[in-house]
Structure 1
């Protein structure tokens, strides 16, 4: 995802008093592969210098650096635990700097559930190697063998009481050392900080109402701005009276550049009122270009596509005498990120230098895009990440940063704050792509799947910045930047075809991805990308096949699994739920689903029960048990939080969420038009059960639950009332429509 050219120049400096030097090995581009073949593990391949990750001050405090961003997933806490575990230092004595283009390694985007496997792995190796180097120096200074030293809280001690601290050892030394990729063993008696629950570092400020989110940041002399968007993507600005708006009280500047309209004011409410006035003063031509009234499946299947076979095994199309063949089609609508807090950014232009505070998930790619947009040297743009109020994926954060940067250029010298309104977020963020999956499978006489044919159609799942044309405002300027042509994300990561390859041992299988570069709505990454739809389709169809074969759905999956870890999580989830002893009751049913995220990250199996009222269309998960294997668990509570959050988000998508449009506008502009899961629909019980594997590689967990949760929910609905819903969402209108068929 990060294809900038290699630039060997690096900043290196010694902190006052002699600290471990912090060198920003940004932007080395060595490819990270497994250790042992000459390459480095995790993100060490991108920044292979120890002092890009760890800094020890003269006061003996440790600062940890990561290019990954805190999104509410608890990654700051987990990464501190990793470093603390290897350095044998309490994480409370450490601080962490994240996602800052002038201070941290460039780790691209915080996406794809890769923070632990990339940054966590890099920090584990860097911290362990720093400890080993300091141990050698301590042994030499104290004149004892390294094995004779103990280490506690950054201080080495001999048996006779002599001591030397990390800070003393690094004083005046240049510790700019290249990482080796080796993982030195921990010292005897070292405290354990990994695999245990520690207090989240990001929670106290949020609970106490302290400054936690970018939306709450207020800088000295800051002014406020609002952008007036066109009524629709194809709208053409005919005329606008900016003079009358410029005369309004408190208005500092009215900005027009092509279709990009904005106001800057002394106070936020004055900016809001001025933006409303500017919207009334604009006259637009709004052509009817949106696909109103078309069924999602027809719309998606009708888009131009670039087919590619992404998986092939065995003989194509084994049918006929092998057994019975089933076919089904599954549909996902366009969906929103629906961030609780609309996007925000602050930018300042001072002495030719831009500083941008942003909740983007990729500050380095954003910096490159902003530099192109502003026709400025990349070094003159400084992007700092600060948490935003709710988002997983490519929402409006980067676009808000572009708005702020453009307005800072128009009004230099002070910070310019751009806060999107709710209708901005709902109408203009990149949407989650609508998708269609068609699957055909043949059951053999033994009740096993003899043949599997799968095809998925999907618009792009990644149009994240990296280029100016990926930024909304850049496409509205008088001299617009064209969006770069989107490209499919290759396997095994995948985009629309993420998790389209089933994880089951099938003798004959074909999977085809129909990538659709042009869609009627702007699309990009929503949490788990195509995995949500593909796992929903595959695991729903597995239930349909199990029913046709007359086999219990869990047993049917087990007979098609070969990976012992997959088998273990399936059995764990079913046992914790009490699958074999389940007692049915009126309007209730059970469902099951399994997937390994991206077929290379965390394993997740979910068993749940739903309650269905077809007369009202109301569906609610009553209880749920999930089993997760994400390799070594650093933060058990953090993993549970991620799985619980993923389940609830998926339940909201699956039961409620869909974008609606007419011929000219997006209609789902607020929470009334785009409802999300409410408290009354939450399960009474969610149990998350961890299959911890100490010493095994970290596996991404943040997006492991979304697909299995959707499929288990649909499977439970079928079990409860005999209704098989293949088109999402399972909202009240769709469920009531089935009432007459039952």
Structure 2
């Protein structure tokens, strides 16, 4: 689509889009429209994506909270079609998939549609892009809204042509009669009212007629990325833009005693040094000058140390002793006598490790604060920034621009707050703030540490009769509920207090996500010890507690299978009633060539081979995934090679097959890095994982040699969401394969950390 067709609020056009530049030169523009009718409030629903009031509870997806059709689909008199979503592109390919959904129901080519994502001046409020909710919530809303818009356009054309609507067809933005007469969508919309609520149970296309959904469409976000085009917020350059760098405290709770800024203020290009309490930053006319000034400002600052951190060697014991909120996740049946196994599993704090340090641009112009940000939630961020700046929310506009690396609550919101604070100091000038690598690593909200204790009882036939599972964890959601959740707001002379941490209720769950096994067990008890005290700053990381819980459950299932002298796959199938679970498992077994066994196939030789298997349904609500791995382990060094991986996924109706494969492959690689290598290091004073040498991630040499992903399509069934399905099963399959190869069961993550390597060498 040519740039002259793009709306000035269409942030998905890319940071370098000429239309956007013209908009910025001309000043700020707020476009607003009513997307929520006045209706009686209904019950609220809380998920990882946020808390929503379902004003139209019978509607599908996000239409429940935003039922107006023209909040999702707009047709201009010239026939230009715009589709709106409150979700954002995080590198998962959702822009492509959502375009396909809209194109299918509107009978348009995907490239004839303008997709506008997450802009508080234009799009529905869909909270956060999180928890694999995009297709289930936004995709479903767009599918149904587009179908109803097409029906309204056809009805308008039928009236104009004087024919029965059933006799008309739609193609390429036109409604066509049997005699060849045509009415364009632009002409039809003149007599159609799209400003009305969607209707429940409205007809959509039968899957048998799909021409776009279910077919691979090349991702629309890839060309710019692979050719070096402006693709990320880090690439955004605006006329008259200034560059800023922040100086973070050396540790949690440290206070700024004094700073001699005179030398810094005299440096070439320095525009302003900003100090507000413990908040310190410098603004310059050039990025390199800003970096040099920041380094000088660091040297000029004197800090008083904050309170000590806990002993990292005893962090898991500490989690189990801190005061906790007790949540009974599941409790059914009574314990049955038998042979009982017990095990404890641990997970360390994890760093998001975004490849590109977080960045944002902000501008205060004519009383409106505009922020270009790679936040996962533009509306919650707007509320937090508005509170921090004491501005009305309608005077703050947050526009999503893709960032280089995310997958959870990293520093994106913090750096957006930095940009807004500094832009307030220099009205009229865009201010760009990018974090340094060490700032991103040291100050982001980390993925929480977790401790799990599991026990289970087998009867004489090797059947599970009792399951007991307890987990200890901090919150997995410290997203922007108030200004106090923003780091900059905590550092001000009049600091904002973070909203208290809260668990995410089941069935979605936070730390307890996927803590209930999908397996049939007559007696079941799951206890979540929710620990509000957070010695380390934490928040959401991809899949939340599912990574650890599935790792622990599926590792323990293998241990139970061995105790029952059963093949691990057969043991799982024996305890699973869900036919869709059986289908993904059998697909992997067949493709992998799984060899049934009741004992380890490896041993204590210096070079050992083994295979591992795992299965889960994400949240017990979304995509089903099974995975098998083959590994080679060198016992003397602890070196591991992943020879091959076979996974099968059922995510309901598939929109873009290649996109689904991308997500499963990427999830397998990411969780492999977490599971084998990653651990946030700290001492009694501060976080010490400040770069890639102190926080190693998987290198290309460790990538699995082959990954095959099998897709099980379910035409017409709901979109289940696939972005986080692989995180837990792939982790457990790795541990199970290592155990099979070596006879060493490693229960503490990372598997190839010092403890794991010592166990392999023993």
- Per the shorter chain, which TM-score range? over 0.9
Q: 1:25 — aligned with what?
A: 35
Q: Deviations over 1:100-144 (max 9, x none)?
A: 000000000000000000000100110000111111111121111
Q: 2:682 — aligned with what?
A: 661
| Equivalent-residue separation in structure 1 for 2:351 and 2:32 (angstroms) | 40
Does 2:394 align with 1:384?
no
**Contact 1:296 1:331 (8 Å CA) reproduced:** no
| Equivalent-residue separation in structure 2 for 1:191 and 1:540 (angstroms) | 41
Q: 1:701 to 1:31 in 2, by over 3 A?
A: farther
Deviation at 1:408, TM superposition (A): 0.6
Give runs of aligned pairs for residues 688-707 of structure 1, distance below 5 A. 688-707=709-728
Q: 1:518 — aligned with what?
A: 533
Superposed structure 1 runs of 4+ greater than 6 Å apart: 32-37
2:75 to 52, 56, 59: 56
Q: 1:12 — aligned with what?
A: none
Does 2:444 align with 1:419?
no
Deviation at 1:35, TM superposition (A): 12
Q: Which segment is superposed worse, 149-158 or 262-271?
A: 149-158
Number of aligned residue pairs: 717
| Equivalent-residue separation in structure 1 for 2:244 and 2:44 (angstroms) | 42
Q: Which segment is superposed worse, 122-131 or 202-211?
A: 202-211
Q: Deviations over 1:594-617 (max 9, x none)?
A: 111001011111111111112111
1:46 to 65, 89, 97: 65
Q: Which segment is superposed worse, 156-165 or 625-634?
A: 156-165
| Equivalent-residue separation in structure 2 for 1:97 and 1:24 (angstroms) | 17
Q: Secondary structure at the match of 1:301?
A: helix
Q: 1:740 to 1:115 in 2, by over 3 A?
A: closer
Give runs of aligned pairs for residues 63-212 of structure 1, distance below 5 A. 63-171=82-190, 174-186=193-205, 192-212=211-231
**Normalising by structure 1, what TM-score?**
0.94
Q: 1:730 — aligned with what?
A: 751
Does 2:263 align with 1:238?
no
Q: 2:20 — aligned with what?
A: none
**Contact 1:630 1:698 (8 Å CA) reproduced:** yes
| Equivalent-residue separation in structure 2 for 1:303 and 1:338 (angstroms) | 28
2:673 to 635, 641, 652: 652
| Equivalent-residue separation in structure 2 for 1:192 and 1:31 (angstroms) | 38
Q: 1:429 to 1:366 in 2, by over 3 A?
A: same
2:661 to 617, 629, 640: 640
Deviation at 1:293, TM superposition (A): 4.0
Q: Which segment is superposed worse, 537-546 or 190-199?
A: 190-199
Q: 1:256 — aligned with what?
A: 275
Q: Which segment is superposed worse, 420-429 or 83-92?
A: 83-92
Segments of 5+ residues of structure 1 without an aligned counterpart are 1-20
**Contact 2:54 2:64 (8 Å CA) reproduced:** no
Q: 2:17 — aligned with what?
A: none
1:337 to 347, 352, 355: 352
Give runs of aligned pairs for residues 264-283 of structure 1, distance below 5 A. 264-283=283-302
Deviation at 1:67, TM superposition (A): 0.2
Give runs of aligned pairs for residues 150-549 of structure 1, distance below 5 A. 150-171=169-190, 174-186=193-205, 192-287=211-306, 289-315=308-334, 317-319=335-337, 323-549=338-564
Deviation at 1:464, TM superposition (A): 0.3
Deviation at 1:297, TM superposition (A): 2.1
Q: 1:307 to 1:667 in 2, by over 3 A?
A: same
**Contact 1:86 1:186 (8 Å CA) reproduced:** yes
Q: Deviations over 1:345-377 (max 9, x none)?
A: 000011211000000000000000000000000
**Contact 1:337 1:526 (8 Å CA) reproduced:** yes
Q: 2:630 — aligned with what?
A: 609
**Contact 2:153 2:192 (8 Å CA) reproduced:** no
Q: Which segment is superposed worse, 97-106 or 659-668?
A: 659-668
Deviation at 1:175, TM superposition (A): 2.4
Q: 2:618 — aligned with what?
A: 597
**Contact 2:252 2:307 (8 Å CA) reproduced:** no
Deviation at 1:182, TM superposition (A): 2.7
| Equivalent-residue separation in structure 2 for 1:390 and 1:298 (angstroms) | 32
**Contact 2:748 2:756 (8 Å CA) reproduced:** no
Q: Deviations over 1:463-506 (max 9, x none)?
A: 10030000001111100001111111110010110000111111
Q: 1:501 to 1:137 in 2, by over 3 A?
A: same
| Equivalent-residue separation in structure 2 for 1:35 and 1:88 (angstroms) | 29
| Equivalent-residue separation in structure 1 for 2:161 and 2:306 (angstroms) | 79
| Equivalent-residue separation in structure 1 for 2:339 and 2:243 (angstroms) | 65
**Contact 2:631 2:741 (8 Å CA) reproduced:** yes
Deviation at 1:161, TM superposition (A): 1.2
| Equivalent-residue separation in structure 1 for 2:423 and 2:265 (angstroms) | 17
Does 2:697 align with 1:676?
yes
Q: Secondary structure at the match of 2:313?
A: coil
Q: 1:137 to 1:362 in 2, by over 3 A?
A: same
**Contact 1:23 1:49 (8 Å CA) reproduced:** no
| Equivalent-residue separation in structure 2 for 1:188 and 1:555 (angstroms) | 34
Q: Secondary structure at the match of 1:295?
A: helix
**Contact 1:440 1:452 (8 Å CA) reproduced:** yes
Q: 1:550 — aligned with what?
A: 565
| Equivalent-residue separation in structure 2 for 1:379 and 1:349 (angstroms) | 13
**Contact 2:156 2:189 (8 Å CA) reproduced:** no
